[in-house]
Amino acid sequence: MASAAASVAVHPLLEDVLSQLPVSATTWYGKGQMVYGPEDLSKSLYLVVEGNVGISQIAEDGKEVLLEIVRRDELFGESAFLRAPSRAEQAKVIAEARLMAWAVSDVEEMVKKRPPLAVALLQMLAQRNADLTRLIESLSTDSVERRLARSLLRFSERLGTPAEDGSVRMMPFSHAMLSRYIGTSREIVTQHMNRFRKRGYVTYTRQAIFLHRETLATVLD
């Protein structure tokens, strides 16, 4: 049976996982469309074939905390393996996305027959847990300015493309989205982004953010 890895270019961390998964049908999701959430729990493991998906945790008071932006060729939805009657995780499409999905029940059957798939999934989850731990540490110890700088630098590595002037071009993150990621208000993010712009760390339009990585990194020195 053909594998998912045969249909898309993959990053090394996921190559072992995708080489063990069969190709599945893909589904288009529009910008802002919910893939799953507390009111419609996920029962599948998803692969982003095109686009980006935001993974959030919904607090008891209804506030949304952005945990990750999943890019092309990355998996999400592993919380479905918990089979809990209620889960606070939410996945929403940031830009138009094409997703491939496998029912968790099918993946569990595959794991029984393909032990390397189980190992690869555990490695993937360990890496994601390490990323989340670093985010929590930053939220606990860094100032807002450092959290914002660190987040922009991370997004530029994961989601950016080099621009002609040496900067990195990224999707136009809204200040509201950045505030949900670093745990502050939109107004405070706007204040710091304006400061970054005045210092020449970033330039942005409605279409893109251009990040000057070397100068922004001085905030973390």
Look at residue 2 in the predicted model and tell me its pLDDT: 46
Highest CATH level, class, for 142-220: mainly alpha
User: Which CATH number applies to 4-138?
Assistant: 2.60.120.10
DSSP, res 92: E
Q: Where are the domains positioned within the chain?
A: 4-138, 142-220
Give the list of residues 6+ apart from residue 43 with CB closer than 8 angstroms, or none: 80, 103, 104, 105
Could you tell me how far CA 168 lies from the centroid of its own chain?
Answer: 18
Ramachandran assignment for 19, one of left (phi > 0), alpha (psi -120 to 50 degrees), beta (any other): alpha
Comparing CA positions, the residue from 150, 152, 44, 56 lying closest to residue 102 is: 44
Give the pTM: 0.85
pLDDT tens figures, 134-183: 888 888 899 999 999 999 999 999 999 999 889 999 999 999 999 999 99
pLDDT tens figures, 172-220: 999 999 999 999 999 999 999 999 999 999 998 888 999 999 999 999 9
